[in-house]
Structure 1
Amino acid sequence: MASLIYPAKPQPGDRVAVVSPSAGLPGLFPQVYELGLRRLREEYGLEPVEYPTTRIMGADPRDRARDLTEAFADPDIAAVLATVGGDDLITVTPHLDDEVLRANPKPYFGYSDNTNLLNHLHRLGIVSYHGGSVLVHLGRPGVLHPLTADSLRAALFTAGWYDLTPAAEWGDEPRDWHDPGSLADEPAMFPGAGWRWQGPATVVEGRTWGGNLEVLHWLLAADRVAPAASLVGSILLIETSEELPPAVEVYRMLRNLGERGLLAGFPAALVGRAKAWDFGRRLTPTEKVDYAQDQRAAVTRAFAEYQPDAVLVFDVDLGHTDPQLIIPYGGEVRIDAVSRRISVRY
């Protein structure tokens, strides 16, 4: 695998870019966005700098790419944070100035559709950060979830090893952003049952690659994934979105990664807790349990066929559920299946 560099970290008091390369949802939900900005200032001591397309829905991909390029080029910007995900960042990355990004590496935080940019930076040799959303997590109703807050703080400001912690409680039923009054109320939370481990009792170390599984499939179709040989030894990072893909599609997407030669090269995978509820699909508690179980079975089946010796860790809080742990993308991870411990190097 090609070497990747960790960009220099911001310090409290620094200016950080706040961008919407996927969707300009801050323009539709300003109350949530402003809460996120306030917490960025008050909780982390960082000064957000908004770019022209941050609040614009449907902004031209070239304009969004310009904002990203300028954020990386500006010597006064210490990190870049995405406001939220979306569904068309794949149209933005071709317009980026890669020479500017290479010459000015900075920590980039985002997930979901931001998998497009995380993968792009990975191919440029830059470590980025899977997780962090100004709207979803910094704008969380009630208070910041302590696991999210601590993980984000460590990822922003520190460079050492950090032990991930299983969530004692978790949620996937957010408050309705259309109701400003809902920001005062904590979202519904459910008891956590810890991580689920499968595979050999061994210790695996490597650099991560992956992201949102649906977006990875788009990237494969667009031929924007590095050759399988260059990713051998990587630890696969996968999670699914609020679109709740059925288990058969999760299996098929992973099967296709297997046919590409990718799965056989991954000695381990961190699998995000499956989001199993959305406003358009309000599954019952029993249906949610069944959905998550079916998804775990689909992942298990694919790995059994293409990489049966892999260590699999399920229900890690790294995707579309609450809390959210930050994972360095292209950064180092240690999975200890003996002591059942996961550590990441920020």
Structure 2
Amino acid sequence: MRTAARSRFITVRQTADRPYPPPMTAPSYPPKPVRGDRIAVISPSSGLPGLLPLPHELGLKRLREEFGLVPVEYPATRRMGSTPRERADDIHAAFADPTVKAVIASIGGEDQITVLPLLDRELIRANPKPFFGYSDNTNLHAFLWNTGIVSYHGGTVMVEFGRPGAMASISADSLRAALFTSGEYELKPAPRWGDVSRDWADPATFESEPETRPGYGWSWVNADRVVEGRSWGGCLEIVSWLLMADREISRDLAVYDGGVLFLETSEDMPSGEEVFIILRNMGERGLLRRFPALLMGRARTWSFERPNSPEEGARYAAEQRESVLRALKIYAPDTMAVFDVDLGHTDPQVVIPYGGVVRVDGPARRITVTY
């Protein structure tokens, strides 16, 4: 997760007697950019590009040269310590500019939740655009879901576009489809994957691709049905913060009925017991049983703070899976679950449309998203 003039826009704040509203209608897909279009690059959470420019510059270069887009940065994009108001101003400016056709986060962070009360929902609703990001950007995804706009969980400038050596082919293919197309896209298990990082401050890091290991496919539970619905979820830790702050979680839980829940954990690597407790509390609120299908992202098993061996990482991932299954057994025993989907904090990464249509076909062992 850690990873202009003063605003002239209206400030929208949540109060105890005025919770955030549910969407007026089901989320709709915003228009897509085409090659040659301008796209906004913003830092709604951390201004890490200012401290570590190498992956950011590489990501911008690939956006220009490999995707044919024109990235446009904003005042807080490279500013560490920017205020929530400054970041809200950048979000407003990016969505309000008619020449900007999509918005991409530079990276995640840990305090985007403080930006949410400052956002002008009506301005953003009137100027819908595809938004890409994950991790702490789950905050903005949930906001857009409630605003009636489909967004895209995945693809930050510094991580996926700025990957050392080359972009992962699965990531690049998924990002191209999500950016430029509007049809169905079938997800496939990665033949190889990795989650060990190297020092972004060292130029030598970018001379070769990260190390990967053989993939082992997805794992299915209750895979005896087909579920098709609109997706909701994101980074599990951020979802828990939204629940604690009572932000962007609809009071009318029926809006989630029949949807596809997708969750993943960050490099903070919460313990299995922490994962269970979050899911338990979602279950106590009545959320888990609303979703007949769950896509669980491949667990991130390594960080600079916890450089696990492959064996230690495998134990951590197994512990997380058992915690998820324990919560589902109690609160949503009939939910179909798919584990180790390549979404979120893993490499390679596929993009999940947040609020878009996802089809989970258990008998055929297929997952199809609509971008």
Q: Is the 8 A contact 1:333 1:342 kept in 2?
A: yes
Partner of 1:158: 181
TM-superposition CA deviations, 1:141-197 (whole Å, max 9, x none): 010100000000000000000000100000000221121211112111010000111
Match for 1:318 among 343, 348, 362? 343
Partner Cα distance (1:237, 1:103) in 2: 27
Shift of 1:212: 0.3
Question: Is residue 2:57 matched to residue 1:60?
Answer: no
Question: Is residue 2:30 matched to residue 1:7?
Answer: yes
Partner Cα distance (1:78, 1:223) in 2: 31
TM-superposition CA deviations, 1:229-269 (whole Å, max 9, x none): 22111111100000010000000000000011100111000
Q: Is the 8 A contact 1:200 1:309 kept in 2?
A: no
Gaps of 5+ in 2: 1-22
Question: Is residue 2:226 matched to residue 1:226?
Answer: no
Shift of 1:29: 0.9
> What is the letter of the counterpart of residue 318 of structure 1?
L
Q: Is the 8 A contact 1:19 1:50 kept in 2?
A: yes
Shift of 1:339: 0.7
Shift of 1:217: 0.5
Match for 1:38 among 37, 54, 61? 61
Partner Cα distance (2:250, 2:152) in 1: 18
SS in structure 1 at match of 2:158: coil
Worse overlay, 80-89 or 173-182: 173-182
Partner Cα distance (1:208, 1:230) in 2: 11
> What is the letter of the counterpart of residue 261 of structure 1?
G
> What is the letter of the counterpart of residue 186 of structure 2?
D
Match for 1:201 among 200, 205, 224? 224
Q: Is the 8 A contact 2:258 2:292 kept in 1?
A: yes
> What is the letter of the counterpart of residue 89 of structure 1?
Q
**Identity across aligned pairs (percent)?**
59
Partner of 1:341: 366
Partner Cα distance (1:43, 1:75) in 2: 24
Shift of 1:121: 0.4
Q: Is the 8 A contact 1:232 1:262 kept in 2?
A: no
Partner Cα distance (1:162, 1:200) in 2: 20
Shift of 1:200: 3.6
Match for 2:128 among 93, 99, 105? 105
Q: Is the 8 A contact 2:223 2:337 kept in 1?
A: no
Worse overlay, 173-182 or 36-45: 173-182
How many residue pairs match? The answer is 346
Q: Is the 8 A contact 1:4 1:125 kept in 2?
A: yes
Shift of 1:74: 0.3
Partner of 2:328: 303
SS in structure 2 at match of 1:38: helix
RMSD of the alignment, in Å?
0.8
Question: Is residue 2:270 matched to residue 1:245?
Answer: yes
Q: Is the 8 A contact 1:130 1:327 kept in 2?
A: yes
> What is the letter of the counterpart of residue 188 of structure 1?
E
Partner of 1:169: 192
Tell me which stretches of 4 or more aligned residues in structure 1 moved more than 3 Å.
Answer: none
SS in structure 1 at match of 2:239: helix
